[in-house]
Amino acid sequence: MRQNLRYIIPILIPLIVLLLPASAFPIEGLTVIQQRVIAIFLLAALCWVMEPIPIYATSVVIIVLELLLLSDKSLYLFRLDQGQPHFGNLMSYSEIMATFASPIIMLFLGGFFLAMAATKYRLDVNLARVLLKPFGHQPKYVMFGLMLITAIFSMFMSNTATTAMMLSILAPVITLFGAKDPGKIAFALCIPVAANIGGIGTPIGTPPNAIALKYLTGENLITFGEWMFFGVPFVAVLLVFAWWLINKLYPATQASIELTIQGKFLKTPKAITVYVTFAVTILLWLMGSMHGMNSYTVALIPVAIFSLTGIINKEDLKKISWDVLWLVSGGIALGLALDKTGLAKLMVHSIPFDAFSPYVVLLGAAMLCLLMANFMSHTATANLLMPIMAALGTSMVSLTPLGGEVTLILVVTFAASLGMSLPISTPPNALAHATGHVESNQMARVGIVVGVVGVALSFVMIWGLQLIGHI
């Protein structure tokens, strides 16, 4: 029965919402179109939480339902009352379809091409081999080196792929620890924690960052380099804290360990092309204000070069994480519907947020996001909360002295990536738990503390940047 509820509830509740009269809602002035958006939003939320279908499939359903129920090219049956005051404004079908090819999607596609080429030509493994040399043989320093390399890779590669690679490198090392040595737990746990934290450092590090960029436009625009200006220091500070915490909770008793990573840098023309393209792309991202190209345009340069040279071929294209791109596009479409139909603003204005302290609102939003991100996909969490937070940030006057929309969006974005207390919280956590060396309660001890400290640190860092005029 419980299994059946997973399928029944996500359909039944949105259907009830669609059939209810507008007067049944506590929101004054609700239109028919906005009521349909509420139904789609509830369907998305319930499907992303209960997962009766894959989460990427939910995103596709969102876009299709918007085309059928909300667009100017929907079925005639669904727009018979068009033009009536209570009906609301239909959305452009081309705007809804454009979410599949949003600049945010192109940014992620470029990141995927870079990551795939780096893995294919062993740039990631060889960089790990070289960068880990200075950290010696003491377990705590080797662990710090592993966390640092994992975090750096996670800024430009999939967190899941980075975790899988680093855990495979660690597999023979972990077996060297004694059966009851806490160092075994520490080494298995440090990789997913570093991967989750590292993704915050760049706009392409994790999908919630890319979703946030969708709302940081115009006067609130944050470039790739500007994001890294505050993202990388945040990652560095939180990474050191996480390293200290893991060492404190699970100190290794073994005095020395030896990491052996085999391989050498390839010197073929294609490998050199990968190295140069990788370096140039990152430099162009960091120097956006100097050359005039935005990060979305730069992201397509490696796509063109790797396709032209055959570095990424049609077989490689099949391995791209298309599910992530669909998931993000569904979130963009959901945000578009909430914005264009005016529902997000209507919902925000119907609640007297200005009666609350802006500090309470910021902290409440961040902790809500952190809680949700521990139990569901980080991307789905960001997809659900970001459009509402964007509307709240622009409408809540008391937030203006604290940075308004930018501050609210950034603290929620960071919180979305800090949900890491359970094996189900993130794919890196699941991979680490699957090794059998770390249990759920051990993961929770570290994940909860790092998450809460991370949220507190995001407040401190963002307000510090406001004081010196960088946000």
What would the DSSP string read from start to end of 73-114?
TS-GGGGTTTTSTTT-PPBPHHHHHGGGG-HHHHHHHHHHHH
CA separation for the pair 454, 462 (Å, rounded):
12
Q: Give the integer Cα–Cα distance in Å for 129 and 266.
A: 14
CA distance 436 to 188: 9
Q: Model-level pTM?
A: 0.81
d(CA 101, CA 81): 31
d(CA 86, CA 22): 9
What are the residue ranges spanned by the domains of the chain?
1-100+323-344, 103-322
User: What does DSSP assign to residue 426?
Assistant: -
CB 263 within 8 A of CB 129: yes
Quote the CA–CA distance of 302 and 281 in Å, as a whole number: 7
Is there a contact between 271 and 81 (Cβ–Cβ < 8 Å)?
no
A 10 A CB-CB count for 155 gives 24
Of the candidates 379, 300, 383, the one whose C-alpha atom is nearest the C-alpha of residue 111 is 300
pLDDT of the chain, 471 residues: tens digit per residue:
566 777 888 888 888 888 888 778 877 788 889 999 999 988 988 888 788 888 889 889 999 999 999 999 988 888 877 778 788 889 999 999 999 888 888 888 888 898 889 888 888 778 877 877 787 778 888 889 889 999 998 998 888 888 888 887 777 777 777 778 888 889 889 999 999 999 999 988 888 998 898 888 777 778 888 888 889 999 999 999 999 999 999 988 877 777 666 778 888 999 999 999 988 988 888 776 677 788 888 889 999 999 999 999 999 998 888 888 888 888 889 888 888 888 888 877 777 777 778 888 888 889 989 988 887 778 888 888 888 888 888 877 777 766 677 888 888 999 999 998 888 788 888 888 888 888 888 888 999 999 999 999 988 887 776 665 555
